[in-house]
Structure 1
Amino acid sequence: MLFIIFSLYSLTSALGLYSLSRANSVGTAQSGKLTYTLAKENRDTIKSRLDKLGQTRTVGEVEGDIAAGKANKRYATTKGCTPAEITATKSRTFCDQYARLNGELATAKEADDLRNKLLAATAKIGGMDLSKVLRSADPQSEALAKLSGFSPENIRSALAALVAILIELGSGLGLWVATGGAVSVKKPKETKQSAKPQPGAEVLNEIRETLNQPKRRLKSRSTPSPSRPTDTPGLGRQLQTCPIEQFAASNMKRKRRAEVTAKELYQAFRNWAEAAGIEPPKQTAFGRTMSELGYRKERRGGAVRYLGVELALAKPHLAVVNG
């Protein structure tokens, strides 16, 4: 039941998202087409009004005739063609012509204004990309509408539902394929023969073998007897373990917030190893073994530091056989 509820919610979300995306693309195309249609209608209206006005003179020409009429003496005797002052026939004829000039001036100004608007509307239409404006807003829906007889709006709604269903089916089948086809594989039991040593243990053993070769053999002050071994028993027992472990146990101690640089620690180990008659390994092997032993380090201030430890400044412990 919960799966069905989530599937329906996801279906409606996908349907809304696809519808919104489709509406944005269609709306953009329709907006451009509507802008072009309105601009064309406005241009046609202006052109029609200009045609109705007919052929007119320019405003300057009409204003020139009006200025010449005002200079006529009959304009002055009639006091600017005041009806009460028009008594003579010639004065009435002059004032009728003057009135027609004023009407022609208004027509000329209107025609001049319409010509400017017509130029602006023509320039606006000329600046539009007709290949984008005149194309279909939704050619897929319109083509399917012609074939099916349904309206483009119904076709768009049906396509949105179809795409949402396909998305849900694809996601559901993908999850089923990813989980249903999985075959559980039993993990084989490890045997003693198949068990392999870890890389860290191999490195530690190699270092132990390298370090368990003393540079010189400790000898007693007197000449030992044949039945007496020349090697020091105590030192032999100590070299059964890694010398780095011996150094850490006897010359280092853990302390909170303490730290020692890697260079200083390695130099202390070299001094200890030389005093113990042990060939010290390289600093790289020393640092790797310290990490294997669980000591934490970090680089800070241009130097590598071991954290939580400090040097105890203990002397190397050697067993010497007295003669």
Structure 2
Amino acid sequence: MTSSDHSKSNDPTSSRGKEKVWEREDYRGEDLLHKSKQVEPLSNKEAAFVDGISETDHQRSHAALIIVVVPGNIPCTRNNSPAAVFLRPVVLHFPSRIPSSCSFLLLLLCAAAAAEPCSIARCGKNKVPIRFPFRQQGKQPENCGYRGFDLRCGSQDTIYLDLPYSGEFYVRDINHLDQQISLYDPGDCLPKRLLGLNLPGSPFVPVFIQNYTFLNCPTQVTTSRFNAIDCLTNSTNSVLATSSARLANRIASSSCRIITVLSIPVPWQAKDDEEFTAALDADIQLTWNAPRCGDCKEQGVICGLKSNSSEEIFCFHTPSKDIS
């Protein structure tokens, strides 16, 4: 092997060097890279960063230099130091000292991409906190929430959610551990809203779903026998709802008629043989499949977006502040 070949083989910026993590016999921090004997090839941007180290820096260096290759935005701790567990390290060996410009550049990268959990918002004295994946529209930046999880404050400190094809619902409660939200109707006639409920286009799905038959009957027929839906009932006609197909058919065989059969969200599932009519005035219970923040909640830490330009979820171990 010629001296030029030997020099080329030890050049960390050669094409061979860009395909593998460099040898690290002289590096004493092997624990950081104990699983990183070989990694995927560097991207063009990453390779350019390695190539950008000047020849002068090569001549002045005498210790191993750790370059943190960043696949996108890097998470940083609250004091702007890199969160090493998420970083992709590449170790270079030089015969003299580490170039100070590289350390400065790493700090600049970290400061620019630092991500912290958003503050918790509230609607006046409402006890329901607005936190990721939800955000208070108009008060918190878009990166504080996930797509489709915008909430707004209404009168009397109420919180409401606007479902794309179903309109506005007030928020009673949000359970972040179980990933459930409880909704009720601002107009106090939830059964009427259920007749037109359309969840596609939103990130939410029912916790439970059940078929209900809606019937229209003369009021004098139903008053003493069944529970009518008050807000849909007048002096001449009553609207009933039942999950029992057998009961619905029996009622319809008299002077009642079936309006429709719908699959609607319910807080719990009734048995098919339970022959009763329901008021359907309990809150709507919805859940969401993405993003998954249950793991963060179980750890007692804050869930949020890893960076402003990503939809990747990150667990922050720093407390969130309240904003009013």
Judge same fold: TM > 0.5, yes or no: no
TM-score bracket, normalised by the shorter chain, equals: under 0.3
Larger radius of gyration: 1
Higher relative contact order (CA 8 A, sep 6+): 1
Structure with greater strand percent: 2
TM (norm. structure 2) is 0.21
Structure with greater helix percent: 1
